[in-house]
A and B are shown apart, each in its own frame.
Chain A
Amino acid sequence: MSATDPNKSSPTSDQVLIARQVNKTFFSTSGDKVEALRAVDLSVGRGEFVVLIGPTGCGKTTLLNILGGLDSPDGGEIRFAPGFRREDGLAYVFQHYTLFPWRKLLANVAFGLQMRGVPRRRRNARARDLLQRVGLADFERAYPHELSGGMRQRVALAQALAVEPSVLLMDEPFGALDDATRKDLQQLLIDLWQTTSMSVLFVTHNIDEAVILASRICVLSGRPGRVVQDIPVSLPRPRDHLAQPFTDRLLIVRQALYSDT
């Protein structure tokens, strides 16, 4: 768990999550010290779509794990909005292993609700609805291994959304997909996000993806990761990735990434 009580105080009412001065150092099995995060400051507003971008190995997964409560920081603090509890307000789509291979799709999507004690009929109805919304209504009896990578990520999204999180963490969920599938899923994610008041913290190292999705982009430096720039992206949606304002943003992000690393 985090070093501090997550509900002690929240600086402003429109922020759901604040990380302050978060440090994390790993000791590898050979005894080497790997400083993954150094003094990371980050906040996520209510309903905001924040994209975290940084070079590989800069500690993005580490930061999400700490925010999700799977790992604890060595220093600094994590705070959530009052009344927020990770157990029922937070969902996390991992970089790998995003589904249970022994469960059919419907049971995978219904997992979170099952853990919360929602009766079978109700949770299955909700899972069915979500599978339909991610375009996999016909696959509820399939096993994950029977799906393509893109389909699996759709299910993972449905699985996370089933618990109606107020904060959704996503770790390079579309990283292994081809371009067309990736575009489809980005659009799907934006559509789903816009129908809720959920905040999303989305990790990627794809600049194009960052500018397509984000309402704000946080650029991390190479290891040890620090937030080096905070770039708001207030372009109207749906975004035309060939238009001038879009490519301007792209350039700004690219400069921020390359000036530091």
Chain B
Amino acid sequence: MVPAALLVAWFFGARWIDQPWLYPSPVRVADQLAHPLRDHFGLGSLADNTLISLVRVLIGFTLAALLGVTLGLGLGCVSALRGLFEPLVEILRPLCPIAWLPFAIAVFKLQTLPQLFGVAHSRTIFDHVQLGMIFILFWGGFFPIFTCTLDGVRGVRRNYLSLARMLGAGPWQRFLHVFLPASLPMILTGFRQGLGLCWFVIIAAEMLPGSDSGIGYLLLYAADLCAMDVVIASMVIIGVIGALLNFTMRATMQAFLRWHGKEI
């Protein structure tokens, strides 16, 4: 009801103001969304650029997930390591991932993923995956995943560990059959937050110097050319994809963890 009313208001508002380069009618935006493969300004289509952003996010997120979970589990189980790393973590965590951008450009220049493996032009989508972007995305995803995993492991009830021990579980078995499953809900919560943050970060990163593609880049480029219909179409796509990512993660969690939130 409310969205429909807003849409109608937008439609008549745009018609009344009559400056389509600044306030495009929803019909023009819908037309852009209905033709996602149409090229814009020689930068590729909405679909192309969305896909590039998604691939960047998935690679950065995967790296963050691997390292975040490993370190979270490690530090969670071994309290001696925790004291060693905690101060570093506390300083790095509040740092906005975008603040790493100059550092990332200095270190990785504009090197792409295929170039890392000695391929100058792979002619695949990976030519658009710059190492600097991955680096920034990594910082975006790492902390939510790491801290959630750590909290998950530390929050495991001692009773479950004792129960496992009484039933004959050794240290490694307790890790595998108690620490891991008991902290899985928190790990997946970390994944959900991390993925959401990565999607935030990539849009911002694509608007900054050193970027050459992606839905965030297309959005800003279109804005400079007063193509507001493309800008708004991009915004819609960004919002919808963000919601879809969140929804997918939540559904995964519910499918995997029928027991979660129902501690006995």
Contacts and interface: CB of A to CB of B under 8 A. Distances in A.
B262 A101 contact: yes
A91 B259 contact: no
A94 B162 contact: yes
B254 to A, nearest CB: 14
B103 interface: no
B259 A101 contact: yes
Contacts of B177: 100, 111, 114-115
Given A94-B159, A96-B159, A102-B181, A111 B164 contact: yes
B168 A101 contact: no
Contacts, number: 66
Given A102-B259, A144-B264, A97 B160 contact: yes
A159 B167 contact: yes
A120 interface: no
B166 interface: yes
A112 B264 contact: no
A145 B173 CA distance: 24
Contacts of B159: 94, 96-97
A143 interface: yes
Range for the number of chain A residues in contact with chain B: 20 to 34
Given A94-B159, A94-B162, A115 B259 contact: no
Interface in B154-192: 157, 159-160, 162-170, 173, 177-178, 181-182, 184
Give the interface centre of A68, A98, A102 by most chain B CB atoms within 10 Å.
Answer: A102
B263 interface: yes
A191 interface: no
A122 to B, nearest CB: 16
Main secondary structure of the interface of B (DSSP, over half): helix
Contacts of B257: 102
A126 to B, nearest CB: 14
A92 interface: yes
Contact of B168 (A102, A103, A115, A143): A115
Contacts of A100: 160, 163-164, 177-178, 181
Nearest to A99: B264
Interface string A110-133: 011011100000000000000000
Give the interface centre of B160, B166, B263 by most chain A CB atoms within 10 Å.
Answer: B166
A163 B163 contact: no
A70 interface: yes
Contact of B184 (A94, A102, A143): A102
A42 to B, nearest CB: 19
A115 B169 contact: yes
B168 A98 contact: no
Nearest to A162: B167
A260 interface: no
Given A100-B160, A144-B264, A145-B262, A115 B167 contact: yes
Nearest to A111: B167
A143 B162 contact: no
B123 interface: no
B118 to A, nearest CB: 45
A218 interface: no
A144 B258 CA distance: 11
A92 B157 CA distance: 17
Contacts of B160: 97, 100
Given A94-B159, A115-B173, A101 B166 contact: no
Contacts of A14: none
A70 B162 contact: yes
Contact of B264 (A97, A116, A163): A97
Given A100-B160, A101-B259, A70 B166 contact: yes
Contacts of A96: 159
Contacts of B168: 87-88, 112, 115-116, 163
A124 B169 CA distance: 18
Give the interface centre of A103, A115, A144, A163 by most chain B CB atoms within 10 Å.
Answer: A115
A75 B138 CA distance: 53
B167 A94 contact: no
12 contacts: A94-B162, A99-B163, A99-B264, A100-B177, A101-B264, A102-B257, A111-B167, A115-B167, A145-B262, A145-B264, A152-B264, A163-B167
The 10 closest A-B pairs by CB, nearest first: A97-B159, A145-B262, A112-B167, A115-B168, A92-B166, A102-B181, A115-B169, A143-B259, A101-B259, A144-B264
Interface of B: 157, 159-160, 162-170, 173, 177-178, 181-182, 184, 257-259, 262-264
Given A100-B178, A102-B182, 12 more contacts: A70-B162, A70-B166, A92-B166, A97-B159, A99-B163, A99-B264, A100-B177, A101-B263, A102-B259, A111-B169, A115-B173, A143-B258
